[in-house]
Amino acid sequence: MSDGNNDKYVEVGIQNERYAIGIQDIHEIIKVQHLTEVPNSKSYLLGVINLRGTIVPVVSLRMRLGLSEAASTPASRIVIVNGGGEAIGLMVDRVYQVISIQHIEPPPERNGSAGGRLLDGIAREGGRLISLLKLGPVLDRDNSIR
């Protein structure tokens, strides 16, 4: 029996593509704040923010997906997720909406550099395709794709 949240996702945008993150993994969504850079860090770590007294690392979802970084816009957001017991921010180009997904197909075996490592599946909602992110590998510091 579903608890009602297992099929709910937050739909986010990177470039012209749409991705979904399980709502149970999201702590909050905030506007872009001043980032403090961390010297000698991975290229996808944009920096850290102070979120109500807690230092939160912010990762570029663009770079984790193998895309080049772009300047933030007024629509950009930081999605704070629970990653292995700590809060981690994911910088996204935009947040669209909360969606309910009933049917998920496995990701294609040959789908580029992100491959099956970063995707849980593909959903078809409202005539568009949405890639469901596998949050663990996206946040895994040792699973760099660059």
| Domain spanning 8-139: CATH superfamily | CheA-289, Domain 4 (2.40.50.180)
Split at pLDDT 50, 70, 90, the class of 145 is: very low
34, pLDDT greater than 70: yes
Amino acid at 137: P
Mean pLDDT of 57-76: 92
Taking the C-alpha atoms of residue 121 and residue 100, their distance in angstroms, rounded to an integer, is: 14
Tens of pLDDT, residue by residue over 89-122, are 999 999 999 999 988 898 877 555 455 678 889 9
- Give the CB-side neighbour count of residue 52, counting CA atoms within 13 A: 4
**pTM of the model as a whole:** 0.86
Tens of pLDDT, residue by residue over 121-144, are 999 888 889 999 998 888 875 544
List the chain domain ranges.
8-139
Amino acid at 109: E
> What does the pLDDT read at residue 66?
86
The sheet that has 54-60: what strands, in order across it?
26-31, 77-83, 86-92, 54-60, 45-51
Cβ–Cβ contacts within 10 Å for residue 115, how many?
15
**What are the distances in angstroms from CA 69 to CA 22, 61, 65, 90?**
24, 9, 10, 13
> What does the pLDDT read at residue 144?
44
